[in-house]
Amino acid sequence: AKALRDQIDDVDDFAKAAKDETGDDEGGDLGYLDPNSMQEDLGDAVKKLKSGEVSEPIVSGGAVHLVMVEEIKEGSDEPVDQ
């Protein structure tokens, strides 16, 4: 995972690596996620990343993960009107 991480320079590299390594047609794109809703070790790693950064390998749930933050959207404590 460390060698693969070292090959990733941008979101296109990340998407290609995700597709090649996992067969994921979405290129590893999980959409917008709240780090507090993720497994604790993954969420903690995501919180440390800035936009465009790729994590070091994270061991979680019996697997090794690389996470890339493409964009950060600030949340709100305000309830959504329905």
> What are 29-39's pLDDT values in tens digits?
988 889 999 99
Rounded to an integer, the average pLDDT of 48-52 is 93
Q: Is the dihedral of CA 63, 66, 67, 70 positive or negative?
A: negative
- In the Cβ-directed half-sphere of 64, how many Cα atoms lie within 13 Å? 8
Three-state SS string over 18-45 comes to: HHHHHCCCCCCCCCCCCHHHCCHHHHHH
- Token reading at 74: 């600030």
pTM of the model: 0.76
On average, the pLDDT of the chain sits at 87
